[in-house]
Amino acid sequence: MTDAAEVDAKAIFLTEYPKGAPQAEHFSMRDVDRPTPGEGELLLRTVWMSVDPYMRGRMRPDVKSYIPPFSLDAPLDGGAVSEVVESNSPNFAPGDYAVGFAGGWKTLHTAPAEAMTKVDPSLAPLSAYLGVLGMPGMTAWAGLTQILEPREGETLFVSGAAGAVGSLVCQLGKRRGMHVVGSAGSAEKCAWLEAEGGCDVAINYKDHAGPAAFTKALAAAAPKGVDCYFENVGGDHLEAALNVINLRGRMALCGMISVYNATEPPAGPPNLVNMIGRGVMAKGFIVSNYLHLTSEFLAEVGPPLAAGEIKFRESVYEGLDKAPEAFAGLFKGENFGKAVVRVGPDRL
């Protein structure tokens, strides 16, 4: 069990809103006051923290969103798996591990007990609760099952296929008997997607730059057209998907990472009109609207994951000071699978 006095209280602050790609100079690691838990609260030591593309949206104070922007000169926040150090709740004891949407970007934090979910380290590595068994996994499951409503034999196209969300979408689609096409940004990622990640064909989009070339590659990989598109990237990927989408196609708009660092409003796809004649449905979604279905997600993903039938990868960054680098790396394709930061050891 951990004594809070053994942990230096530190946090990463946002010092400037990035214009374009996030850089190290937009962040600074500082000593902070040791937090004290109030009534019904826990004192937690962060073990693993998540960096996620949505955090870039919280660095744009001018854009209306479902979640408020980060404040300048204040600690950042995000998902984390933490060890309970002190508990003012009958539901948690020191030494328990818990996951929550708060606690990232700092070494120690407090949280109301009801905001944290206990996790069992014997079921899966703790970091998996930030990836395949956590928010990105739930996102993959919700977009596929609740929006795309896939049918056996259909073709599924997944962009950002080697990432935390995409890699699970591909595997769940394959398990449902679909022809799965994924796109990713390196030969190594594509080889893994075809060998283990559920793709029948994986396209390295960097070998097919521009909408015309990418459309050609996608049409070859999906000879019967695309019935379901799981959108993580936007830009040329969306334009190509709209070129090859079938009649009554469905699109789950999960993310558009290619435009998150844009300094000018990005152009929309010129072929959006295809949606009309082909009767295409597109729906944007946020994972938090589907959290009431968490037990269904865990029932579908948990057993095959435990049996080793569902694979997942992680890019691990060591130490809280590496969090800005881990975050910036998301926009350069440096992560392969879920990007996580080890803030402290599992047990001190």
Within residues 87-106, the interface with ligand NAP by CB under 6 A covers none
Q: Retrieve residue 321's tokens.
A: 């000071």
Parallel/antiparallel/unpaired status of strands 117-119 and 155-158:
unpaired
The correct pick among 98, 133, 178, 287 for binding ligand NAP (CB under 6 A) is 287
CA distance 130 to 22: 22
- Indicate whether 147 belongs to the interface with ligand NAP (CB under 6 A): no
Number of residues engaging ligand NAP in binding (CB under 6 A): 30
Q: Which residues pair with 203 in a beta bridge?
A: 183
Backbone φ and ψ for 169, nearest 5 degrees, come out as -55, -45
Q: Which residues pair with 314 in a beta bridge?
A: 338
CA distance 234 to 134: 24
The correct pick among 7, 158, 217, 330 for binding ligand NAP (CB under 6 A) is 330
Which one of the spans 31-39, 81-89, 181-189, 211-219 is the region binding ligand NAP (CB under 6 A)? 181-189
Q: Residue number with the shortest CB distance to ligand NAP? A: 163
Q: Which residues pair with 74 in a beta bridge?
A: none
The correct pick among 22, 44, 52, 130 for binding ligand NAP (CB under 6 A) is 52
Which one of the spans 23-31, 38-46, 183-191, 297-305 is the region binding ligand NAP (CB under 6 A)? 183-191
The correct pick among 9, 296, 333, 346 for binding ligand NAP (CB under 6 A) is 333
- Indicate whether 267 belongs to the interface with ligand NAP (CB under 6 A): no
- Judged by CB, which is closer to ligand NAP: 338, or 342? 338
- Indicate whether 251 belongs to the interface with ligand NAP (CB under 6 A): no
- Indicate whether 17 belongs to the interface with ligand NAP (CB under 6 A): no
- Indicate whether 316 belongs to the interface with ligand NAP (CB under 6 A): no
Within residues 188-217, the interface with ligand NAP by CB under 6 A covers 189
What residues contact residue 185 under an 8 Å CB cut-off, 6+ apart?
162, 204, 205, 206, 333
- Indicate whether 301 belongs to the interface with ligand NAP (CB under 6 A): no
- Judged by CB, which is closer to ligand NAP: 87, or 335? 335
- Indicate whether 166 belongs to the interface with ligand NAP (CB under 6 A): yes
CA distance 246 to 22: 37
Q: Retrieve residue 46's tokens.
A: 């962060």
Which one of the spans 8-16, 25-33, 155-163, 171-179 is the region binding ligand NAP (CB under 6 A)? 155-163
Backbone φ and ψ for 85, nearest 5 degrees, come out as -105, -45
- Indicate whether 185 belongs to the interface with ligand NAP (CB under 6 A): yes
303: part of which helix (H) or strand (E)? helix 294-306
Tell me the C-alpha to C-alpha distance, in Å, between residue 294 and each of 44, 141, 261, 312: 24, 9, 31, 19
Nearest Cα residue to 164 out of 199, 190, 138: 138
Q: Retrieve residue 17's tokens.
A: 């809103």
Which parts of this chain interact with ligand NAP (CB under 6 A)? 52-54, 136, 139, 160, 162-166, 184-186, 189, 232-233, 254-258, 285-287, 330-331, 333, 335, 338
